Structure 1
Amino acid sequence: MIENMLAQLPASERKIAEYILEHPRDVVNGTVSELGSRAGTSGAAVIRLCKSLGLQGYQDLKVRIAADLAKPAEPGYRDIEPGESFEAIVQKTTSNSIQSLRDSAEIINYETLRQAVDAMLRADNVHFFGIGASHIIAMDAQQKLLRINKGATAFTDAHLVASLIVNAKPDDLFFCISNSGETPEVIKALSLARESGVKTISLTRYGQSSVAALADIRLYTSSYSTEAPFRSAATSSRLAQLFMIDILFLSMATAQYEKTVGYIDKTREAIQFLKR
């Protein structure tokens, strides 16, 4: 979380964050004022950093750092090299994929996740919107919801999305997907949804962004602040986004288990009918 937020933090909080990354064990054994002094700032800045990270306070920060220190060392993300062997590509891709899911799982706020699942269960229709690679995620989400008899759309045409928003029913939900959180079309659509009183959910990389700031409910994936050139081609981010959609879908399914099983069986039978 600290690595993902580092570049966006104010100077005083960034100094503390950098000190934590370099001396995590000192933080676990120290007080708020000691950390502020060692980082060359103040105890108040430490508390502000905790709030910026979405933590409940300094004790929460210490517990999370202690938990991270107890984990075995992770290999981290590795980019491919010129002339890489197939074996090395498979190994690196596997390692990077697992790491992206792990990192995203660690930043999930479970109260926010509950709010998102409740909103999706109550919605008459969920309108998913993403541009480029994020549209692939939107289509995956739409396919999952349609299979359990939940109204869902996934369009890339901004004009059509705008029409959906202004004509949305009171219980419709607008779910926007943007890894960067700065996709212009998504920002404009979210602004329109806000003006129209439509409830919104965002899925962006972790940290502050225009998209997240506009949404009612904010979901995140790890931002991969050290993303290498080939990984930045929507590979790690795509997997993490699909991971979050799977979590939402399965959470909805378990909340209405019998109904979901019934819908899945019906759609499976319909698909089998088409193959006859």
Structure 2
Amino acid sequence: MNSVNLLKSITEARHLLRKSEQKVADFVLAHPNDVIHMRIVDLATEAQVSEPTVVRFCRALNYDGFQDFKLTLAQGLASNTSFEQFSLNTRDTVFEFKQKIFDAMIGNLMSIKEQLDTSTLEAAINALAGAKRVEFYGFGASAPVCTDAEHKFHRLKVNAASYSDPHMQTISAVSLSKADVVVAISQTGRTKDLLHTVSLVRETGATVIALCPSNTPLAELADIDIHIDLEEDKDLSTLMSSRVLQLVVIDVLAVGVAIKMGPGVIDHLKTIKRSLRSLRQNDKRPPFRRADDLDRDV
């Protein structure tokens, strides 16, 4: 667990703690960088609690003691120090908002990497590798992710399709069988049209894999829910990193399926690469000639 997840866990568990332990939680959340340099007596003094209370706080979060807790916090902070969520300021220079966007993206990638459950990914990969047909559903910013996923899985010789139109999704949904898999992709997990088509998919017995936030209606409908939980500035809808994270998770699933299918698929990918060479421009282009050189030729 990195520091982002640790601090999030403290926030989520705070209401379950005793009042004295909540004082420790509040201090840690407000001063995480200071805590990693403190002794247990220092933290107890700053939080105005006893040392045993600090120990109980750590154990409530499933740590053996303060040193174990502090080590996890320090390791996380060391790798995530500069990767914080950003808020847009109209006075920002290009350099400043470029830095903010890239740092936020890197931070989100690191956070989701830690959050992704390996057993859930394995279940999704097994379902996809064994599917007769794979279809990707998504709307809005998730639609191009579905198109990209269709392309990736086609290259693996998987019978794949993507739909971002509600009518086509409905037709697809009622045409599925138990041997098929649908991957439903959503930044919110609450899009009504997507929930409707996924409900239709469930009636056919096909497997539903969802890429969406946890504790959402879509996650509850899915057989396999891959959580992508982000804390982003909701006013910056065009700058959200959810789409990039969805693309990375699709890459993980595609690589997993390729490995599952064995060496033959690697040979197939090499064949595709060779066949595409004729569609690319030859790098051996004539050297660039300036206008005055052309004038001398006339």
Q: Pick the TM interval, shorter chain.
A: 0.7 to 0.9
Other-structure match for 1:219: 226
Partners of 2:176 and 2:201 within 8 A in 1: no
Determine whether 1:229 maps to 2:241. Answer: no
The CA deviation string for residues 214-242 of structure 1, in whole angstroms up to 9 with x for no partner, is 00001022321x42522x32531111111
Q: Once the 2 structures are TM-superposed, how far is the Cα of residue 251 of structure 1 from its aligned partner?
A: 1.8
Residues 37-96 of structure 1, C-alpha deviations (whole Å, 9 max, x = no match): xxxxxx9xx6xxx8xxxxxxx359997875233331522112332142222232222211
Aligned to 1:54: none
Which position in structure 2 is the counterpart of 1:77? 85
Q: Percent identity?
A: 22
1:131 to 117, 134, 139: 139
**Other-structure match for 2:246:** 241
With normalisation by structure 2, the TM-score equals 0.72
| Aligned counterpart in structure 1 of residue 115 of structure 2, from 107, 125, 150 | 107
Q: Helix, strand or coil: the match of 2:210?
A: strand
Aligned match of 1:172:
180
CA contact (8 A) 1:2 1:17 kept: no
Q: State the 1:141 CA deviation.
A: 0.8
Q: Secondary structure at the match of 1:150?
A: coil
Amino acid at match of 1:216: D
User: Does the 8 Å CA contact 1:113/1:219 hold for their aligned counterparts?
Assistant: yes
Higher normalized contact order (CA 8 Å, seq sep 6+, divided by chain length): 1
- 1:185-196 paired onto structure 2 within 5 Å: 185-196=193-204
Whole-angstrom distance in 2 between the partners of 1:12 and 1:228: 25
Q: 1:30 to 1:98 in 2, by over 3 A?
A: farther
- Classify 1:133/1:270 alpha carbon distance in 2 versus 1 (closer, same or farther; 3 Å): same
Distance 1:250 1:18 in 2: 45
> Cα RMSD between the aligned structures?
3.4
CA, structure 1 residues 70+246, in 2 after alignment: closer, same or farther (shift >3 Å)? same
Give SS of 1:23's match.
helix
Q: 1:132 to 1:265 in 2, by over 3 A?
A: same
Report how many aligned residue pairs link the two structures: 253
The question of 1:151 aligning with 2:156 is answered: no
- Is the CA contact (8 Å cut-off) linking 2:55 and 2:65 kept in structure 1? no
1:233-262 CA-to-partner distances (Å, cap 9, x unmatched) read 253111111111111112222333422222
Q: Tell which deviates more after alignment, 140-149 or 164-173.
A: 164-173
Alignment partner of 2:266 out of 242, 245, 261 = 261
Could you say if the C-alpha distance between residues 187 and 32 of structure 1 is closer, same or farther in structure 2, counting changes exceeding 3 Å?
farther
Distance 1:239 1:61 in 2: 37
Structure with larger Rg: 2
Q: Distance in 2 between matches of 1:17 and 1:190?
A: 41
Q: 1:126 to 1:6 in 2, by over 3 A?
A: farther
Q: Give the 3-state SS of the residue equivalent to 2:238 in structure 1.
A: coil
Paired with 1:102 and 1:263, the residues of 2 have a C-alpha distance of: 32
Amino acid at match of 1:204: C
CA contact 2:134–2:160 (8 Å) conserved in 1: yes
> 2:104 aligns to what?
96
Instruction: Name structure 2 gaps, 5 residues minimum.
Output: 30-34, 44-50, 282-298
Structure 1: tracts of 5 or more residues without a match: 37-42, 51-57
Measured in 2, the distance between the counterparts of 1:154 and 1:237 equals 19
